[in-house]
């Protein structure tokens, strides 16, 4: 079942950063899901960062080992290649979504607000991400509606999406303290060679190889990667491969054995187990429409 909040979702045959049509000229997009009825959990995983606000109704967002019910004014964050599920729980649920290139968000600096690092909430565990209190939720909700009205009435949609996302991120982070172990956001740029290596690979990529690409020792690379991205390089590389396999499943009728082989899995059984662990459904059910497309 297609996600109503992502009209550009699952561009068949698309490559990683082009899945949502993002580029340097349009690093973020804003999508409004005006109304949705209760539906089964929709599972997904993608390179791009995702930030959303519930405007009306109730939604459940789930991550690996963590689930939260969200009401009006609540927000959610999805990091790079982070498996996540979404379930509308009440009729008429309305939400606002942003999807953004991590390279864009991580590069932003604000001398007038040095404590504001918009990339940080996406790199910490889901349980440690900002959770606005009741008064703040009302302000977030009001700003979300204002951004929708401005987008629908104005020009320069790409600029409005970027600025709108930053406005909401700034508001949602009011009073939030990042965990002490969080790495400085500028470290993201140093990891770009490893990110590109994992995204281009069709098979397993070793941590040592990724560290060399970033001109770091293996120990320093492993620590920095986990701090900045929020998971180990090995898990990140696995998710990249699973994302490619998912696109292949939706883009044709190749046998599961071929999909497993094309993306470097030991066999179809290994692919089946790994895919179900991350996406919450089997490859066959995903292709049939349970996961998206």
CA dihedral 192, 182, 130, 149 (to 10 degrees): -30
Provide the pLDDT for residue 133.
Answer: 95
Strands lying side by side in the sheet with 59-63: 42-44, 84-88, 59-63, 66-70
pLDDT < 70 regions, the chain = 1-19, 181-188, 290-293
Q: According to the model, what pLDDT value does residue 228 have?
A: 77
DSSP-assigned letters across all residues of 186-250: THHHHTHHHHHHHHH-SS---HHHHHHHTT--HHHHHHHHHHHHSS-HHHHHHHHHHHHHHHHHH
Please check whether the two domains, 16-172 and 187-290, share a CATH topology.
Answer: no
- Hey, what's the torsion of the CAs at 103, 179, 130, 104, to 10 degrees? -10
β-bridge mates for residue 36, sequence order: 93
Tokens of 277: 């662990």
Q: Tens of pLDDT along 161-211?
A: 999 999 999 999 998 988 775 555 556 678 888 888 888 889 999 999 999
3-state class of 55 per DSSP? strand
36, 88 contact by CB (below 8 A) = yes
| Whole-prediction pTM | 0.72
Residue appearing with tokens 């949609």: 157
- Supply the pLDDT for residue 77: 96
For position 187, what pLDDT does the model report?
66
Alpha carbons 101 and 145: distance in angstroms, whole number: 23
CATH no. of 16-172: 2.60.120.280
Domain residue ranges of the chain, discontinuous segments joined by +: 16-172, 187-290
Q: What are phi and psi of 97, to 5 degrees?
A: -125, 140
Task: Output the CATH code of domain 187-290.
Answer: 1.10.10.60
Please enumerate in sequence order all residues whose Cβ is within 8 A of that of 272, keeping only pairs 6 or more positions apart, or say none.
256, 282, 283
Q: What is the pLDDT of residue 278?
A: 82
CA dist list (Å): 184 to 99, 106, 220: 22, 10, 14
Distant-in-sequence, close-in-space partners of 114: CB < 8 Å, separation ≥ 6: none
């Amino acid at each position: 079942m297609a996600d109503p909040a992502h009209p550009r979702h699952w561009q068949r045959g698309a490559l990683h950063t082009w899945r949502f049509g993002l580029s340097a000229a349009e690093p973020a997009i804003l999508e409004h899901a005006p109304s949705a009825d209760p539906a089964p959990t929709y599972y997904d995983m993608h390179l791009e960062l995702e930030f959303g606000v519930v405007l009306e109704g109730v939604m459940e967002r789930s991550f690996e080992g963590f689930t939260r019910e969200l009401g009006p004014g609540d927000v959610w964050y999805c990091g790079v290649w982070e498996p996540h599920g979404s379930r509308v729980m009440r009729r008429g649920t309305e939400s606002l979504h942003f999807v953004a290139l991590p390279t864009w968000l991580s590069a932003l600096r604000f001398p007038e607000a040095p404590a504001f690092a918009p990339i940080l909430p996406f790199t910490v565990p889901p349980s440690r991400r900002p959770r606005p209190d009741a008064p703040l939720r009302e302000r977030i909700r009001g700003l979300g509606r204002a951004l929708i009205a401005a987008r629908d009435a104005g020009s320069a949609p790409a600029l409005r999406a970027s600025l709108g996302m930053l406005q909401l991120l700034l508001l949602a982070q009011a009073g939030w303290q990042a965990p002490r172990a969080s790495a400085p956001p500028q470290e993201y740029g140093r990891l770009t060679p490893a990110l590109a290596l994992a995204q281009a690979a069709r098979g397993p990529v070793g941590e040592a190889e990724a560290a060399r690409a970033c001109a770091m020792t293996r120990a320093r690379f492993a620590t920095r990667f986990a701090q900045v991205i929020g998971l180990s390089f090995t898990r990140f590389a696995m998710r990249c491969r699973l994302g490619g396999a998912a696109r292949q499943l939706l883009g044709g009728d190749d046998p599961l054995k071929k999909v497993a082989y094309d993306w470097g899995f030991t066999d179809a059984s290994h692919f089946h187990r790994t895919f179900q662990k991350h996406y919450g459904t089997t490859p066959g059910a995903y292709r049939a429409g349970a996961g998206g497309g």
